């Protein structure tokens, strides 16, 4: 599997490109773009062109601005839909509002006003739905708590050697861990050593605890975890050392 991670300018969101393999000149391969954050569009589109890929959808793990900041622009530029869980679709009308007053003020002070126009084409998915790009199949798993529609994207494959050699893993990851067999893109549900916050509008402590216990801890140890921010990890490492997972067992 091809995986390339492009860190976004704002809050370092891990924007990902997924495909079964690179294309060739005149024969592009289909790909998926995941969590297109702010300040990433030009680099992302250049990478897609370099790898001879053709996007078929922009996937969203959840509707916070740092994960969808340029999703609508990239979707329009490539003529593809933005795909989000139905419970977070409303956030695409005004993702700034969903940040809460403190984060809105911080964003305005650091980056100024963020222009926003909702995507032209929004497709809603539900738990268990699959999105296909070439031979790549990505399964959506509803994981509420950080937001109502937070979603994990699961692939029964791991990044290939070429992706790793090209620096395709999230910053700070290092080498691909040995023994991993599948990949989970976890958005802001699970990070290396932490989990997503629940104090923003739409967050829910009870829902998050249930998600961590019933969805995250159900992932096999050999799952390679690509979070929405920070370095990648594995479920084996998180099960052994993540204090937030220990609390919900």
Contact 244, 189 (CB under 8 A): no
pLDDT of residue 111: 66
Q: Are strands 151-155 and 182-187 parallel, antiparallel or unpaired?
A: antiparallel
Q: What number of other Cβ atoms are within 10 A of residue 1's Cβ?
A: 18
pLDDT digits 0-9 by tens, 91-141: 999 887 767 677 777 776 666 677 788 999 999 999 999 999 999 999 999
The Cα 146–Cα 201 span in angstroms is 9
Provide the CATH topology of domain 2-248.
Metallo-beta-lactamase; Chain A (3.60.15)
pLDDT of residue 109: 67
> What does the block give as tokens for 66?
């740092």
Average pLDDT (222-227) is: 98
pLDDT of residue 11: 85
> What does the block give as tokens for 106?
């911080």
Buried (b) or exposed (e) across 16-36, using 16+ Cβ within 10 A?
A: bbbbbbbbeeeebbbbbbbbb
Ranges of beta strands (E only) in 78-121 are 82-85
pLDDT of residue 112: 67
* 69: confidence class by pLDDT, cuts 50, 70, 90: very high
Average pLDDT (203-228) is: 98
pLDDT digits 0-9 by tens, 148-201: 999 999 999 999 999 999 999 999 998 999 999 999 999 999 999 999 999 999
- The domain ranges of the chain are 2-248
pLDDT digits 0-9 by tens, 16-33: 999 999 999 999 999 999
The Cα 249–Cα 247 span in angstroms is 6
* 76: confidence class by pLDDT, cuts 50, 70, 90: very high
Strand order from edge to edge, sheet including 53-59 = 2-7, 14-19, 29-34, 53-59, 82-85, 122-125
Q: What is the pTM of this model?
A: 0.95
pLDDT digits 0-9 by tens, 36-57: 999 999 999 999 999 999 999 9
Chain centroid to Cα 202, Å, comes to: 18
Of the chain, the end-to-end C-alpha distance in Å amounts to 32
The Cα 98–Cα 65 span in angstroms is 8
């Amino acid at each position: 599997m091809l995986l390339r991670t492009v860190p976004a300018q704002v809050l370092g969101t891990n924007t990902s490109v997924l495909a079964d393999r690179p294309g060739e000149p005149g024969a592009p391969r289909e790909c998926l773009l995941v969590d297109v954050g702010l300040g990433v569009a030009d680099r992302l589109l250049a990478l897609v062109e370099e790898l001879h890929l053709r996007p078929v959808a922009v996937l969203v793990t959840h509707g916070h601005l740092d994960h969808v900041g340029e999703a609508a622009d990239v979707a329009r530029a490539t003529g593809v839909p933005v795909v989000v869980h139905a419970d977070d679709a409303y956030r695409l009308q005004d993702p700034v509002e969903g940040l809460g007053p403190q984060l809105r003020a911080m964003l305005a002070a650091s980056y100024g006003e963020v222009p926003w126009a909702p995507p032209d084409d929004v497709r809603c998915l539900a738990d268990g739905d699959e999105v296909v790009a070439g031979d790549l199949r990505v399964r959506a798993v509803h994981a509420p708590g950080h937001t109502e529609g937070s979603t994990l994207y699961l692939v029964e494959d791991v990044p290939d050697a070429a992706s790793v050699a090209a620096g395709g893993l999230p910053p700070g990851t290092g080498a691909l861990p040995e023994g991993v067999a599948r990949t989970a893109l976890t958005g802001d549900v699970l990070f290396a050593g932490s989990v997503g916050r629940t104090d923003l509008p739409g967050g829910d402590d009870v829902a998050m605890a249930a998600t961590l216990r019933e969805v995250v801890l159900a992932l096999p140890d050999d799952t390679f975890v690509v979070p929405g921010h920070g370095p990648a990890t594995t479920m084996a490492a998180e099960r052994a050392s993540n204090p937030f997972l220990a609390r919900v067992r």
